[in-house]
Structure 1
Amino acid sequence: MSDPSRLSLLRFLERVQVGDLERTRAWIVAEEQRLAAEAARLPPPPPPDWLIEHGIGAGRAPVRVHVGGCWDTRTRCAPAGREEARRALAAGVEACTHCRPDTALGVLD
């Protein structure tokens, strides 16, 4: 019996890799379907009514107040209650210029 040719070995390798790729793609489709079904079952929680954005650094002082659904929020935001947001604005924390929480809270300069 002769040794398999280099070409036949490469063709065999190709078939194995194509099979692996098809299996991986099937796993990806299954995972996407699972995530879509999970997302359909669990609606996202509603945004908080108010957000307080904190700065960077050790003290992380409040830097801006936002309405809960504001598009201009950063990852450094924490949910806040109505009174906490009003106190922050009264203490001089800047109001977001896009969502205008000062107007929504009735606290204008």
Structure 2
Amino acid sequence: MNDAESSRLALLHFLERVQERDLVRTRRWIADEERREAERRVGEERHPPTPEWLIERGLDRKNTVAVHTGECWDPGKRVRPATRAQAIEALRQQVPACSKCRPDTALGIVD
């Protein structure tokens, strides 16, 4: 066996070791990604459903500031879920409807 064949064989063995390490690393990446995906699914399953209606309270939590739909993009920080009946009652008591999501229109209570 000459040196060229010997060095070619050594290079192929080296390539094999590199590829095995790459394969191990790729499998680790796949396992990590599968774990993250499973965690994301569990998080989605545990996440409570979006309420249909929200009532926003003031700083003192006694006065009601606005009524929002559950999908409002600007509900404020002090909101609590509400039933349809609670949202309608709040609007009838002159609580302002959010100007962005228009819950009064969604509830069919437009003056």
Fold match (TM-score > 0.5) = yes
Aligned partner of 1:48 among 36, 47, 51: 51
Q: Percent of pairs identical after alignment? A: 48
Gaps in structure 2 of 5+ consecutive residues = 1-31
Partner of 1:95: 97
TM-score, with normalisation over the residues of structure 1?
Answer: 0.62
Partner of 1:86: 88
Partner of 2:39: 38
**SS of the residue aligned with 2:56?**
strand
CA-CA distance at 1:36 after TM superposition: 5.6
The whole-number CA distance in structure 2 between the counterparts of 1:100 and 1:46 is 21
Structure 1 stretches of 4+ with a deviation exceeding 6 A read none
Partner of 1:70: 72
The whole-number CA distance in structure 2 between the counterparts of 1:72 and 1:78 is 14
Q: Would you say how many aligned residue pairs link Structure 1 and Structure 2?
A: 78
Gaps in structure 1 of 5+ consecutive residues = 1-29
**SS of the residue aligned with 1:95?**
coil
CA-CA distance at 1:34 after TM superposition: 6.4
